[in-house]
Amino acid sequence: MLRCNDTKPSEQAAIPGSVGSESLARAENSPHTRDPMHSAVQHSLEDAGDGSARLVLSGQLTLAAITPLERDLKALEGPVATVDLAGVEEIDTVGAFVVCRFAREHESEITGASPEAERLLAAMRDIDAEGDTHPYRLPVWERVPLAVGEKVFGARGGIYGVVGFFGQILLGTASLARHPRRFPFKALVHQMELVGVTALPIIGLMSFLIGIVIAQQGAVQLEAFGAEIYTINLIGRITTRELGTLMTAIMVAGRSGSAFAAQLGTMKLTEEIDAMRTIGVSPMEAIVLPRVMAVTLMMPLLGFYASICAIVGGGVFCWVGLEITPITYIQLLRQIIPMTDFWIMLIKAPVFGMLVGVTGCYEGMQVQKDAEEVGRRTTSAVVAAIFLVIVLDAFFAVFFSGIGWN
C-alpha cells in the first residue's frame, strides 16, 4: 500500500459514514461514461463496508484515455478513503499523476497497485501541479558580474571575427589586383550612387541645421563677453575639423551600414551566398568589396559636402542674427580655417567609411538562423559602427593635437 502524501494520521480529516447516493449516481451516470474513449478506463464508487467510500479504477490509465476520467474525478464530491488500483491493467506517468492528485485532494490511500505502478506513483507523489514553475534566479550581485563577463567575452570574440573578416577583405582585394578583369565596376558604381548621391539631401539638410545651431549657441555664449565675431571661428573650426566628418559618419552608419547588414543577412537566409560559392563566385569580391570600397571612397566627399553645408548654415545665422555680411563671413573664414583642418578631415573620413562598411558587412554575413536575427544583426551593426567611429574620432583628436595640428 502506498500513500500519496505525507500527511500524519492524526492530521487526516474524519471520513463520514457514507457517501451520498446523489454523488454516486452523478459519478456513475456521468455523460462521459458513454464516451468511446471511456471504454479504456472504468471507475466506480463502492461502500467499503466500514462506513467509508472506495474509488475502484480499472482498465488502462494512460494519456490516451485519461481525459474523461479526470473530468469525472473532478465532479466527485465528498471524502474518499481508498483508491483501489487492483483492476488497472496499464498506467503511465499521466495516469499516476491524476491518481496522486486525487488522493492528495481527498486525503485517500492508494491500494492494490502493482510494483510497476508503485514506482510511477512514488515518482509522482511529491509533484505539486500548482507549485512555483519559475526557474531559479541568481541574486542581482551575482547576475550583474556574470552578465558583464559574458558581454566582455562576446566582445572579444566579435573583435577576433572582425579582424578575420578584414583579412578576408584584404585577400579579396589582392586577388582582384592580380585579376583586374574580375573587378565589379558596375556594382561599385551602383553602391557609390546608393551611399553617396542618394544621401546628399539628408546629409545636406542635417548639416545645414547643425551649422545654424552651432552659430546660435556660440553667439549666445560669446555675447556675454562682447565677442560675437568669434562665432565665425567656432563655426569654421568645429565643422571642418570635427563635426562635418563625425556627423556624416554617424548618418552613413545609420543609413548605409544598416542597409549592408540587412541585405547580406537576407542573402544568407535565402542561401544566395551559398549559391554564389557553389558556382565559383567569391562573395567577398562580388558583394562585400563593392560596398566597403563605395563607402570608403564616398566618405571624404560627403564629409566635405557636410562641412560646406554647415558653414553655409552658420553663415545664414550670422547674416540674419549677427548682421555679418556674407563677404565678411567668407573673408574671415579664409583667415581662420588652417589647411591642416582639411587634411585632418580627409584622413579621418576614409577610415570612418571603411569602419562603417566592414562592420555592416560583417554583421550581415553572421546571420545564420531566421529573420529575427537579421534585425538583431542590423541593430548591432549600427550601434557598433557609431561606437567605433566616436572612439576613433577621440583617438584622432588626441593624436593630431599631439603632433601640433591644432
Whole-number Å distance between alpha carbons of 376 and 363: 9
- What mean pLDDT value characterizes the chain? 83
Per-residue pLDDT of 121-162, as tens digits, reads 888 876 755 555 567 788 888 889 998 988 888 878 888 888
- For the chain, where do the domains classified as CATH 3.30.750.24 start and end? 2-124
Higher pLDDT, 25 or 232: 232
Q: Taking the CA atoms of the chain, what radius of gyration do you get in angstroms?
A: 39
Buried b (16+ CB within 10 A) or exposed e, 211-231: bbebbbebbeebeeeeebeeb
Q: Residue 348 — φ and ψ, nearest 5°?
A: -75, -35
**Whether the Cβ atoms of residue 90 and residue 63 lie closer than 8 Å to each other:** no
Q: Please, are residues 72 and 32 in contact by the beta-carbon 8 Å criterion?
A: yes
Assign 4 a pLDDT band (cuts: 50, 70, 90). Answer: very low
Q: Please list, in sequence order, all residues whose beta carbon lies within 8 angstroms of the beta carbon of residue 59, skipping any fewer than 6 positions away.
A: 39, 40, 41, 42, 65, 87, 88, 89
Q: Which residue has the cell 496522486?
A: 100
- Residues 326-350 have pLDDT tens digits of 999 999 999 999 999 999 999 999 9
Phi, psi of 70 (to 5 degrees): -65, -40
Residue 396 has pLDDT above 70, yes or no: yes
Domain 2-124 belongs to what topology? Transcription Regulator spoIIAA (3.30.750)
Give the residue with greater pLDDT, 59 vs 379: 379
Residues present in the chain in total: 406
